[in-house]
Amino acid sequence: MSVTKLGISFPNELVEEIDKMSKGLKKSRSEVVRDAITKMINDYKRQQAIEKAEKIYKEIAEDDKRLSEDFLSICAEPVAKYKAVRKAKRK
């Protein structure tokens, strides 16, 4: 994997927290920051996928609602009633 170095500025308090975390996790600052950014990117992608799915399911629900309304309106229309005709027994 190729690597690109970035110069990023952080508030001192955040650097102190990163240092504490990296010491506790036995990871370098870079690993801690890389892991945090990777998690944020994954969370963002998941959120985008969920929002897209939600939009699709809402459209499906609207289509289903229209379909059921159409079906119910067809059912409400009067229809000719048919009766079974009994044949008379021949003697």
Q: Do 22 and 31 meet the contact criterion of CB atoms below 8 Å apart? A: yes
Please tell me the predicted confidence (pLDDT) of residue 89: 67
| Dihedral sign, Cα of residue 29, residue 30, residue 33, residue 34 | negative
| 54 inside domain | yes
Q: How far is CA 33 from CA 3, 15, 24, 36, 74, in A?
A: 14, 10, 14, 5, 61
- DSSP result, 45-87: HHHHHHHHHHHHHHHHHHHHHHHHHHHHHHHHS------PPPP
Residue type, 45: K
Please tell me the predicted confidence (pLDDT) of residue 67: 80
Residue type, 47: Q
| 43 inside domain | yes
| 35 inside domain | yes
Please tell me the predicted confidence (pLDDT) of residue 66: 81
| 85 inside domain | no
Q: Do 29 and 18 meet the contact criterion of CB atoms below 8 Å apart? A: yes
| 53 inside domain | yes
| 4 inside domain | no
| 42 inside domain | yes
Its domain, for residue 44, covers 12-75
**pLDDT tens by residue, the chain, 91 residues:** 898 999 999 999 999 999 999 999 999 999 999 999 999 999 999 999 999 988 888 888 888 888 887 777 777 777 667 777 777 666 6
Please tell me the predicted confidence (pLDDT) of residue 90: 67
The total domain count for the chain is: 1
| 69 inside domain | yes
